[in-house]
Amino acid sequence: MISTNDFKTGVSIQLDGDAYTVVDFQHVKPGKGSAFVRSKLKNVRTGGIIERTFNAGEKLPKAHLDRREMQYLYHDGDAFVVMDNENFEQMTLTDEQMGDGKIYLKENMNLSVLFFQGQVIGVDMPNNVELEVIDTEPGIKGDTASGGNKPATLETGAVVRVPFFINVGDVLRINTKTGEYIERA
- CATH of region 2-60: 2.30.30.30
Would you place residue 179 in the very low, low, confident or very high pLDDT band (cuts 50, 70, 90)? confident
Cβ(57)–Cβ(4) below 8 Å: yes
Q: Which of 156, 158, 165 minimizes the C-alpha distance to 137?
A: 165
Instruction: Give pLDDT tens digits for 115-172.
Output: 888 888 888 888 899 999 999 888 666 655 556 788 999 998 899 998 888 889 999 9
Instruction: Give pLDDT tens digits for 79-114.
Output: 899 999 899 999 998 888 887 788 888 889 999 888
Instruction: Give pLDDT tens digits for 28-60.
Output: 898 888 999 999 998 887 778 999 999 988 999
Contacts of residue 46, Cβ cutoff 8 Å, sequence gap at least 6: none
User: Same CATH fold, 128-184 and 2-60?
Assistant: no
Domain chopping of the chain, boundaries = 2-60, 65-124, 128-184
69-86 average pLDDT score: 90
Specify the fold of 65-124: OB fold (Dihydrolipoamide Acetyltransferase, E2P) (2.40.50)
CATH architecture of the domain covering 128-184: Beta Barrel (2.40)
Whether the predicted pLDDT of 173 surpasses 90: yes
